[in-house]
Structure 1
């Protein structure tokens, strides 16, 4: 870059952060806002990355970003609530006098988020982190498919329902609608479409009548909010056959002997 050749450099760092729901923001370490590619990068002079390293091996590249997450565009409550989990982050350096020409420094998704010394810090995991995932499935007595995915093939359109939250008591929500069958939403998902939780998702532990119990209490007060409930499954063959009539697509091995077979007593 020609900006590096003079006695004084005009280089600054920029972040482009794309949330999973489509919200995109730009931040820059410069002391003034920059417009790059039609997106305004807001000045956030306090944001700093840790050392950026690249390797030719297959190890997962990562770095920490701090300061950027204290911007007014990314509030602490929203970050800790999970709104920015899995967001795509692109880090690049550019000449602030001609910002359209940048040099990429890193790209990945937001991983672990924690507080260090009163400051929010987020881990940025690179594309190589995907290589750490298991490439083959292990056998299991329970189904390994997700309800409604391409392997399960259960039609989910009639198993999604909207309701409104009447009361919140810890992790227990009272709704204005009753479930169609017993524990219909246990193991399912609740999506918030209104209130301060809007855009967030919560796992449902169990449901009974007009009440659903979440795995963890909602991040913010959800009374009066509109929600979408998606039915769940306990992953057992009995439920798959009796409730969904889908045993032919069951993705588990309920009758395969486990490692405890070698420790059983004769005749047990």
Structure 2
């Protein structure tokens, strides 16, 4: 390779199998079955790589465009954790190339029609905590393999038509199914139809209104607001307590916490006549 003929090429593969290729060269490059386009869909800063197991430190940035990485896809989380590879390639001889980075996309931030995301190296998973946490509250996620609760049951999930929205995060429903107030707090909301389809959020407050109405407040807006008439799915929330698991979900047999674990105050407090075991 010579310095005057070196270009960089990026491949991004989403979890659903969609692949995009970009290059800073002024013409299309094709290798390994990928077509690398010379547009501004994505670019990356200079990589900072280290020996050992430290995580490669870099960022990728680009424009949100209809034909490459769209705002809707970013909001829906379709690019979260996507695989990334970067090559240095001699554009006069595409066989003369070397892989300089392999990893995944981290957290994505949006601003003024553009995005910025962290590039995470292959050693990033080594930073994740391993082992079980001993805590009075449940360590499982509602409905996962440890919880084993069937969320498709209509007791824990319902669909309703949006009647109105305010401040981009407070949704109003009319004729809502009969659930007790607070049933969906800490739960999830998913938009099923309309311009905000596939966007979702976490429920902050769930208020039952007179006449069968419902007000659902999210922790933050969805980025693209759903419109009246859109179909919305709501899933019940869990506060991870043993009593909630028993009384609300009837699932105490699968509770993954330790409700009788003594608190730190109890362990540290002095007691007359003996010690804590």
TM-score, normalised relative to structure 1:
0.80
Q: 1:91 to 1:227 in 2, by over 3 A?
A: farther
Q: Is the 8 A contact 2:76 2:200 kept in 1?
A: no
* CA displacement at 1:113 relative to structure 2: 4.2
Q: Secondary structure at the match of 1:157?
A: coil
Query: Aligned partners of 1:244 and 1:87: how far apart in 2?
Result: 34
Which of 225, 239, 256 lines up with 1:221 in the alignment?
A: 225
Going from structure 1 to structure 2, the CA distance change for 1:221 and 1:78 (only over 3 Å counts) comes to: same
Pick closer, same or farther for the CA change 1:151–1:121 going to 2, 3 Å.
closer
TM-fit CA distance, 1:257: 1.2
CA RMSD of aligned residues (A): 3.3
Question: Would you say how many aligned residue pairs link Structure 1 and Structure 2?
Answer: 260
Match of 2:184 in 1: 185
* Conservation of the 8 A alpha-carbon contact between 1:179 and 1:208: no
* Alpha-carbon distance in structure 2 between the residues aligned to 1:44 and 1:114: 20
Match of residue 166 from structure 2: 169
The answer to whether the Cα contact below 8 Å between 1:152 and 1:249 also exists between their aligned partners in 2 is: yes
4+ runs deviating over 6 angstroms: none
Match of 2:211 in 1: none
Residues 119 and 185 of structure 1, relative CA distance in 2, 3 Å threshold: closer
Matched residue, 2:246: 241
**How big is each residue's C-alpha offset from its partner over 1:70-93, in whole Å with a ceiling of 9 and x where there is no partner?**
263235686477553322222123
Change (3 A) 1:121 1:221: closer
> Is the 1:80–1:113 contact (alpha carbons within 8 Å) kept by the matching residues of 2?
no
Look up the match of 1:196. 195
Task: Give the structure-2-normalised TM-score.
Answer: 0.78
Q: Does 1:34 align with 2:33?
A: no
Q: Does 1:256 align with 2:257?
A: no
